Structure 1
């Protein structure tokens, strides 16, 4: 009986000494983001130890408009946009971004601004020759078909600076 208790105690001690799996840390940039032009919502999520992003929703000029298609004629709803973005510094991720209009793939850097916005710099070759966009958090919900409705009382999509989307 004593031998059995000692074996059980030894087993429990070994279990306690084993490293516990690290809890998955969700990057602060994970979530839904409204694009700079306010015409779409992008979902950023962890993919293993990297980040990826898909088109989560889009505002259409007219509710009956067809779903936008990518360069291959495939629906842009849930289309992968950012891939293989690994963390290279405390607030910097680098990966690839695909232009859904033509399939071109660019390097991308992502970081959170002090104001809590998501900055993305897409570039070919070196960042100096790139373009930066700033996305803001999107607090709304996104339907499975990706079709977003502008807020009540605002049938048009409002662009930064107060201009309306061309329709």
Structure 2
């Protein structure tokens, strides 16, 4: 009977450990763009879908800071900045690309509440956290 109760408690607690959905439109911490997170095959990704502050080279800005010269001609608008995100407990893990620096980082995202997304970019053990708000 004890084993059954322990198993039942574990099953009941499992949904509490699941990551909350992060799909939707999110306003970056700098309030310069809207990132839309959605399904990309077997993973989630997030694409730039709106500029709130026009980039230096205009709305047609290219990925000029990319370390890969072959990718420098691609447009920022519509480009994925969050890629390969999969659920891991109460978080989502993948990679985040920073078009301002041209660098890609290991990333963890987690929904804090219905209107707030915590976005971490990590290099080794060091992480920088941003708070994104749900876009209207």
TM (normalized to structure 1)? 0.59
CA distance in 2, matches of 1:30, 1:69: 26
Secondary structure (helix, strand or coil) at the match of 1:131 reads strand
Write the deviation string for residues 53-96 of structure 1: whole angstroms up to 9, x where unpaired.
1111102359x94432212143210011111111011x300101
1:137 aligns with 2:134: yes
- Given candidates 37, 51, 54, the residue that maps to 2:30 is 37
| TM-aligned CA distance change 1:60 to 1:67, over 3 Å | farther
Give the structure 2 partner of residue 48 of structure 1: 41
The aligned counterpart of 1:80 is 80
Which residue does 1:105 correspond to in 2?
104
Q: Who is 2:122 aligned against? A: 123
- Over alpha carbons, which structure has the higher Rg? 1
Closer, same or farther: CA 48–95 of 1 in aligned 2, 3 Å? same
Which residue in 2 is equivalent to 1:95? 94
Which residue is 1:8 aligned to? none
Once superposed, what is the RMSD of the aligned Cα atoms?
2.2
Residue 95 of structure 1 aligns to a residue in which SS?
Answer: strand
Which residues of structure 2 form unaligned runs of 5+?
A: 1-19, 65-71
1:70 aligns with 2:63: yes
Count of equivalent residues: 109
**Where in structure 1 do 4 or more consecutive aligned residues deviate above 4 Å?**
none
What TM-score results when the alignment is normalised by the length of structure 2? 0.71
1:25-49 alpha-carbon deviations (Å, 9 max, x no partner): xx62101101111110001002234
Contact 1:70 1:102 in 2 (8 A): no
State the distance in 1 between where 2:59 and 2:40 align.
Answer: 30
Once residues 77 and 61 of structure 1 are traced to their aligned partners in structure 2, the CA distance between those partners, rounded to angstroms, is 11
- Counterpart-to-counterpart distance in 1, 2:61 and 2:103: 17
